[in-house]
Amino acid sequence: METQFMVKNKTEVPPELLSKEFLKQFKTEEDVSKFLKDFHSQVLEQMLQGEMDAHLGYEKNDVAGNNTGNSRNGSFPKTIQTEHGESTIQIPRDRNGEYDPIIVPKHQSRGLSIEKLVIVPVWVHKVCHHYPPSFV
């Protein structure tokens, strides 16, 4: 599956992330590393929210979720190891305790790399087909 930013096997960076205006915030390599670490954490958290939407069958605050027997029940912090270092992310949970994250599996401190997730058929099958093409 290709998105608007994929070019064969190379992912093209969106132009707004390469603009002089955006890049001038980085003064050192450490600044870039911190940005990548934070960005990676935020992407993982958004993907976990997408997994929860797929698990429950409705998006957050959607009236379709009323009286379904299961709903979101907040989140909990989890410290994980990534290729960018240690990060603490929020893992969503459901009331029935049935949600089993794919991206950051239970009882593991290493999340799957985002690069690997893009090609994991299970994640694509379980999550991506629930969203319109513009979301994925």
* % of the chain surpassing 70 pLDDT: 74
Two tokens at 42?
Answer: 């935020």
Q: What pLDDT digit, counting tens, does each position of 54-63 carry? A: 999 999 988 8
Look up the domain containing 107 and give its range: 31-59+70-136
Residue 64 is assigned to a structural domain of this protein: no
Residue 42 is assigned to a structural domain of this protein: yes
- Number of structural domains (the chain) is 1
pLDDT category, 114, cuts 50, 70, 90? Answer: low
pLDDT at 12: 83
Distances from the Cα of 68 to the Cαs of 55, 72, 80, 94, 95, in angstroms?
Answer: 12, 11, 32, 12, 11
